[in-house]
């Protein structure tokens, strides 16, 4: 095994059992798969993760080279009250009370963060647990008194793995929210432990794990399912006809189908309302280029009056008149789509 692979494997083996801060928004069933030892069904490529590991190691080396451990420290184990597994903060700046999480992202994901105001709730909540652990136990650190004022600052440093570009985001932690997040994870861990302790001999781990609910939205729907090593065992792998892995899980369950139909119609109405509001705003803003408070308005796109494009219909007619063959291609069939309407009573 190569050095990097050996390092990564050792880090995994050294992790304590149970739920820790990184599992704050982990799907309940995903946590059960891991805790009960179900084999991974679709391990993801480790290439991108390896690059992230190397960047993290570089960041750690940079912190150690510039700061004393009592001032600022890299790779800090953090005990969160009530959780069975420690977290590990990438960077704790003790004297400034800043806890940092380093996130390496591919180009597309990094641009999404840039264009959508940064990290999501899952990232901030993981940091919230780190900050809560530090806030709760800070008397153990030589430079932090038990009565130190104010909460910790949470910082996310996002690094584009493709270009090296960086973005930083900060917000203040909320110790009470950290406590509630820790309590939620503690409750989940207790449920997993009880499942193992009360398991009947002969029941397979997979069967036990599948007693827990799916909390993701399935393949193709983003976090956590698209990054889960158990996606193929959790969701139906082979789907025929117009179905999806998601629809196969509720086929025959009329209440679940009705629930999703209601969700669809509610979302459709909200989408229509939002589009009308957007079109109204567009009518008021068209042509008013410039800076207005927090906003910049500009007219973009639009074609030039002297631009031309091929008239395919006329070209086909001309070819037929000349007795020439009109080039054809197989038409891509339209994909079936969902239409939900209210039943007539």
Are 172 and 268 in the same domain? no
Flag whether pLDDT at 138 surpasses 70.
Answer: no
Are 171 and 268 in the same domain? no
Residue 208 lies in a domain: no
Please compute the mean of the pLDDT values over residues 51-77 and round it to a whole number.
90
Residue-averaged pLDDT of the chain: 83
Residue 20 lies in a domain: yes
Q: How far from chain centre, in Å, is Cα 161? A: 17
Structure tokens at 166: 């960086």
Evaluate if pTM is beyond 0.85.
no
Cα angle: 42, vertex 47, 52; to 5 degrees: 115
- Other CB atoms within 10 A of residue 124 CB: 19
Q: Give the separation between CA 208 and CA 205, rounded to whole angstroms.
A: 5
Are 134 and 279 in the same domain? no
Number of domains in the chain: 2
Residue 56 domain boundaries: 3-197
Contact at 8 Å (CB) between 88 and 75? yes
The DSSP bridge partners found for residue 73 are: 92
The per-residue pLDDT for 257 is 93
Q: Return the CATH number at 67.
A: 3.90.320.10
Q: Of residues 56 and 301, which shows the higher confidence score? A: 56
Q: Give residue 147's pLDDT band: very low, low, confident or very high (50, 70, 90).
A: low
Residues 228-247 pLDDT 10s: 888 888 888 777 778 889 99
The per-residue pLDDT for 18 is 65
Flag whether pLDDT at 256 surpasses 60.
Answer: yes
The per-residue pLDDT for 10 is 62
The per-residue pLDDT for 12 is 62
The per-residue pLDDT for 189 is 85
Q: Give the separation between CA 195 and CA 214, rounded to whole angstroms.
A: 17
- Other CB atoms within 10 A of residue 295 CB: 8
Structure letter (DSSP) for residue 227 = G
Q: Of residues 66 and 307, which shows the higher confidence score? A: 66
> Where a domain ends, among 197, 212, 233?
197
The full DSSP string for 179-219 is HHHHHHHHHHHHHHHHHHHTPPTT--HHHHHTTSPP-S--T
State the alpha helices, DSSP H only, in the chain. 3-13, 28-36, 47-66, 107-115, 121-137, 175-197, 205-209, 231-234, 245-250, 254-285, 312-321
Residues 309-335 pLDDT 10s: 888 889 888 988 888 888 888 888 777
Residue 309 lies in a domain: no
């Amino acid at each position: 095994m190569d050095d990097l692979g050996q390092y990564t494997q050792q880090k995994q083996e050294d992790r304590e059992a149970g739920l820790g801060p990184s599992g704050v928004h982990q799907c309940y069933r995903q946590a059960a798969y891991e805790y009960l030892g179900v084999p991974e069904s679709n391990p993801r490529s480790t290439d991108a993760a390896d690059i992230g590991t190397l960047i993290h190691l570089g960041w750690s080396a940079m912190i150690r080279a510039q700061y004393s451990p009592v001032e600022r420290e890299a790779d800090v184990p953090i005990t969160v009250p009530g959780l069975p597994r420690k977290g590990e903060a990438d960077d704790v700046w003790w004297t400034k009370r800043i806890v940092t999480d380093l996130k390496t992202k591919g180009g597309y994901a990094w641009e999404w963060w840039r264009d959508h105001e940064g990290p999501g709730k899952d990232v901030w909540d993981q940091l919230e647990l780190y900050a809560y652990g530090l806030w709760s136990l800070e008397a153990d650190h030589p430079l932090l008194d038990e009565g130190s004022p104010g909460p910790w600052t949470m910082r996310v440093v996002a690094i584009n793995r493709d270009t090296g570009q960086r973005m930083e985001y900060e917000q203040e932690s909320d110790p009470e929210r950290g406590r509630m997040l820790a309590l939620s994870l503690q409750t989940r861990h207790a449920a997993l432990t009880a499942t193992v302790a009360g398991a009947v001999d002969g029941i397979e781990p997979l069967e036990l794990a599948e007693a827990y609910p799916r909390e993701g939205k399935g393949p193709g729907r983003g976090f956590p399912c698209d990054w889960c090593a158990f996606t193929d065992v959790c969701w139906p792998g082979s789907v025929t006809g117009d179905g999806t892995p998601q629809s196969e899980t509720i086929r025959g369950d009329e209440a679940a189908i009705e629930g999703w139909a209601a969700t669809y119609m509610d979302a459709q109405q909200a989408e229509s309302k939002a589009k009308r509001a957007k079109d109204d705003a567009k009518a008021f803003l068209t042509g008013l280029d410039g800076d207005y408070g927090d906003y910049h308005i500009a007219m973009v796109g639009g074609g030039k009056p002297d631009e031309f494009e091929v008239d395919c219909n006329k070209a086909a007619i001309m070819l037929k008149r000349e007795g020439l063959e009109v080039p054809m291609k197989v038409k891509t069939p339209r994909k079936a789509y969902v239409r939900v309407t209210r039943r007539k009573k």
